[in-house]
Chains A and B, each alone.
Chain A
Amino acid sequence: DAGVIQSPRHEVTEMGQEVTLRCKPISGHNSLFWYRQTMMRGLELLIYFNNNVPIDDSGMPEDRFSAKMPNASFSTLKIQPSEPRDSAVYFCASSLLLRVGGVGGPTYNEQFFGPGTRLTVL
């Protein structure tokens, strides 16, 4: 298994430009997560999808950020227009959401992370 694949690995762009980050989750996983990591704020959850449907995007900083998951094997995170404060490492993670014991039962989901995209906005 190739694991979670992200592209590009590095992106340097100028303020105001559109940036698109891509993610291919592990085959068979039904949940996908986008995180942002900075020294100041640590690892922040931006948005997550279950079965390709966005469930919670409350972590998306502002309207400049958008994410899509058109199918089970692909997701994008877009920033338009980009700003210097968006500089960070963006991680995609996928997992298999399990529910034990029926509705209301506990869920256990180990997350598998991609290598990340290091974004620098000048």
Chain B
Amino acid sequence: SQQGEEDPQALSIQEGENATMNCSYKTSINNLQWYRQNSGRGLVHLILIRSNEREKHSGRLRVTLDTSKKSSSLLITASRAADTASYFCATMNSGYSTLTFGKGTMLLVSP
């Protein structure tokens, strides 16, 4: 079953705008990861946030984690057309070594 559920399913914005994607999950996690997938390609790891962390930054990416609400958000600032892709959250449950992926958010950034 899917652990992470992304919201929205699709997002369309203009270049330069910020994009925010959300992820909700159901059980206790060890860490949560965000991945990106360009059309026809494999997934690429973007950022990992541990269960004891609340916020993490990497370049134009900002990830937050609220374990009390079992939710995470991915913010891409100053978006570019090249950011067009699908974005997936993946959770690693406590006591396990595998990731469970959501169905992703399709982001379209128009020039």
Report which A residues bind B (CB closer than 8 A): 4, 31, 33, 42-43, 45, 48, 50, 55-56, 91, 93, 97, 106-116
Q: Is the interface of B mostly helix, strand, loop or mixed?
A: strand
23 contacts between A and B (CB under 8 A): A4-B42, A31-B97, A42-B2, A42-B101, A42-B102, A42-B104, A43-B43, A43-B101, A43-B103, A45-B98, A48-B97, A91-B43, A106-B51, A107-B30, A107-B92, A108-B50, A109-B99, A110-B33, A111-B43, A113-B43, A114-B42, A115-B41, A115-B42
Contacts of B41 in A (CB 8 A): 115-116
Contacts of B103 in A (CB 8 A): 42-43
Least Cβ–Cβ distance between B51 and chain A, in angstroms: 8
Contact indicator A45/B31 (Cβ below 8 Å): no
CA distance in complex: A33, B97 (Å) = 11
CA distance in complex: A91, B41 (Å) = 10
Instruction: Encode B31-53 as 1/0 by CB contact (under 8 A) with A.
Output: 10101000001111100101100
Given A106-B30, A106-B31, A107-B30, do A45 and B45 touch, yes or no (CB 8 Å)? no
Given A42-B102, A107-B30, do A112 and B45 touch, yes or no (CB 8 Å)? yes
Report which B residues bind A (CB closer than 8 A): 2, 30-31, 33, 35, 41-45, 48, 50-51, 88, 92, 97-104
Contacts of B51 in A (CB 8 A): 106
Least Cβ–Cβ distance between A96 and chain B, in angstroms: 11
CA distance in complex: A42, B3 (Å) = 12
List 13 extra interface pairs beyond A45-B100, A108-B30, CB under 8 A.
A42-B104, A43-B43, A43-B88, A50-B97, A93-B42, A106-B30, A107-B92, A109-B92, A109-B99, A110-B45, A110-B48, A113-B35, A114-B42
Contacts of B92 in A (CB 8 A): 107-109
Given A43-B88, A113-B42, A114-B42, do A108 and B48 touch, yes or no (CB 8 Å)? yes
